Chain A
């Protein structure tokens, strides 16, 4: 598949802070990639760079094979929105839709109006009168209706209640099926997105930790539960992500392909083997060992 996004040793510094550090990633055409990471990991910085909204410190970033900043042929084919886009606050939603319709060649105004009706948004409402959840819905539907070749959504469901979130995911998936294109969705809620995503890009401290197809991610790690001695024996030559040893709970997560051989060898030592959910894997890969600090709080 064609690469829609490609970065090579991409770095971005704000003063002395490294927001992105030597990041090299690729995102393929017609995929839905979940951009996952903790707060301050560099998700928004990456999206802004890809949208041409931020300069880079070093390295390269390409969208549709070209540098995005000030490149109208690239920018005309992408949309980047977030939950609180700062439109003119007194503008009515209908007017904002008209602006989108004006600016984006493929914008489907009829579809946008249908979505407005579906989510019970009145076009006469002023943008400033929207709650955070409603603003998120509005920005989500605007981005979706653009039908841009590349749609980047930064925390699109922030503030939405669970029912609306599920509707939003369903609409996104159905629209993707009808009009295949590339989505990059930044979110904390990987568990909800899991059924939607084709790829996961996990970043931590400005670096890409995972950039794989979701099926590969599911097979990339496994968990073993058992006695401390059996676990210690098993993990001696393994790539351990996390390990917990206590009287009640003793387990380890191993970042190696989850295969049939793995299951057999672990079972021989009396260990229980299970698949690690992508969300848990992301947590394990990005968690910081602060248990000692946690204990010091009390």
Chain B
């Protein structure tokens, strides 16, 4: 029998005792996440309440994800400094197995706790934006919201975290069981990695393809659960045959240093690989952009000049947000401001045609394949009063919000083509201003 009943009870108590100690740190995590939430929500509210701040607002989760990863690495380090971490609880009754299981479970619970903050933050951000949209008109969400996706993405996130934790736990168990061989193997692997980093970067994703490129959500969870079980059971079995209180020695420090070096090298690489893994179904991002460029809306307004005598002149009056610029100056991609440019002079002289054509190129702000101006109403008017041509341009419904979604989850075909992922296709955005061109049509 693996453990007797008293050991299970002891494990439960140890988890509770560890939680009492963890609460000290989780309190700070809670505080940091609260500050992030206040900062993010505050900036959203300020953006909405302040005019002229721009069309687009991205509610970023980068900081909270970074905090999560930092805490996660903390848990990974705990599995490496297993002995010194357990010293804090050594005064309490425990066995090798109850100690290991309690450490394993409390680390997993800690990650669930911290990850749940991420989920709560997401809902808080989304909820705040939704709430604001009740009071303020013209707020649009560029990316679709799917509760199923958010929940599924959360579990995908957790699955990857648990898998990595299980891997590190197994590695830690191996190191404790076969210290010298493990360090030797580690040194060899490290040297191979340093010498052939590019090859390793190619090989690892291929080796992990069965899980990181699995397009079916259900299969992913099954595979993740299976792999996690194998890794964890292996770690438990190895630990079961390891004498925890084997003669204390001072070599701990160099092990810690070695494992920390390992963490510094391996963890960022693995995370980088996971983040950069191409999705099962890829978008042709450039084709997407080209398509949008080709379909950017334009509008023409024709003004009858037949009543004007040939050779007469017209003054041009434009609204405040239209700037008259020299015709040879290319301002097409230079600013994201919602403004229009009149390509020409302030007045027209010696008019020879019957019809004046005012050609409007609509503004655009394409964020990862989405033209955010598609959500807004742009209005252009042009009319002639006497010898003055009035050109007016303004934008309504100019609040568009994007809330990033779980990046890991984009590998699943279930969520493809549902307007959930475009935020992550590419990090950049392109924009173009309203452009007004005036020409004479001679019949």
Contact = CB atoms under 8 A, between A and B. Distances in A.
Interface string A26-61: 000000000000000000000010001111000000
A13 B247 CA distance: 8
Given A55-B245, A72-B6, A72-B98, A103 B87 contact: no
A86 B93 CA distance: 15
Nearest to B3: A72
B340 to A, nearest CB: 59
Nearest to B244: A70
Contact of A91 (B6, B24, B244, B248): B24
B247 A55 contact: yes
B13 A103 contact: yes
A81 B88 CA distance: 12
Contacts of B87: 86
Contacts of B91: 79-81, 85, 87
A1 to B, nearest CB: 24
B417 to A, nearest CB: 50
A53 B24 contact: no
A88 B88 contact: yes
A87 B245 contact: no
Interface residues of B, number: 29
B90 interface: yes
A75 interface: yes
Contacts of B93: 72, 75-76, 78, 103-104
Contact of B21 (A52, A76, A88): A88
A98 B90 CA distance: 16
Contact of A55 (B7, B17, B88, B243): B243
Q: In this complex, which of A13, A73, A88, A95 has the most chain B Cβ atoms within 10 angstroms of its Cβ? A: A88
A210 B154 CA distance: 65
A60 B7 CA distance: 23
Given A53-B245, A54-B248, A87 B92 contact: no
Contacts of A100: 92
A118 interface: no
A55 B246 CA distance: 6
B14 interface: yes
A85 B6 CA distance: 25
A69 interface: yes
A72 B7 contact: yes
A259 B74 CA distance: 67
B16 interface: yes
Nearest to B92: A103
Given A69-B245, A75-B93, A87 B88 contact: yes
B90 A53 contact: yes
A163 B16 CA distance: 37
B180 to A, nearest CB: 15
Interface centre among B21, B91, B96, B97 (most CB of A within 10 A): B91
Nearest to B22: A88
B20 interface: yes
A102 B17 contact: yes
A13 B7 CA distance: 29
Contacts of A79: 91
Nearest to A92: B24
A98 B91 CA distance: 14
B95 A70 contact: yes
B94 interface: yes
Interface string A93-114: 0010011101110000000000
A279 B268 CA distance: 61
A90 B24 contact: yes
Contacts of B131: none
A54 B92 contact: no
Residue in A69, A70, A80, A98 whose Cβ sees the most chain B Cβ within 10 Å:
A70
Contact of B94 (A75, A91, A95, A98): A75
Interface in A192-247: none
A79 to B, nearest CB: 8
B348 to A, nearest CB: 77
Contact of A76 (B10, B97, B246, B248): B10
A298 interface: no
A104 B249 CA distance: 29
A265 interface: no
B4 interface: yes
Contacts of A48: 245
B20 A95 contact: yes
B6 A14 contact: no
A99 B24 CA distance: 14
Nearest to B93: A75
A274 interface: no
Q: Which of B7, B94, B97, B247 has the most chain A CB within a 10 Å cutoff?
A: B247
Interface string B233-259: 000000000011111110000000000
B86 to A, nearest CB: 10
B19 to A, nearest CB: 10
Contacts of A98: 20
B173 to A, nearest CB: 16
A54 B90 CA distance: 12
Given A72-B98, A99-B17, A102-B13, A52 B245 contact: yes
A71 interface: yes
Contacts of A69: 245
B385 to A, nearest CB: 76
Interface of A: 13-14, 48, 52-55, 69-73, 75-76, 78-81, 85-88, 90-91, 95, 98-100, 102-104
The 4 closest A-B pairs by CB, nearest first: A75-B93, A103-B92, A70-B95, A88-B21
17 contacts: A13-B247, A54-B247, A55-B247, A72-B10, A72-B95, A72-B98, A76-B6, A76-B10, A79-B91, A86-B90, A87-B91, A88-B88, A95-B20, A95-B21, A99-B17, A99-B92, A102-B16
Given A14-B249, A72-B6, 11 more contacts: A48-B245, A53-B90, A54-B245, A70-B97, A72-B95, A75-B93, A75-B95, A80-B91, A81-B91, A86-B90, A102-B17
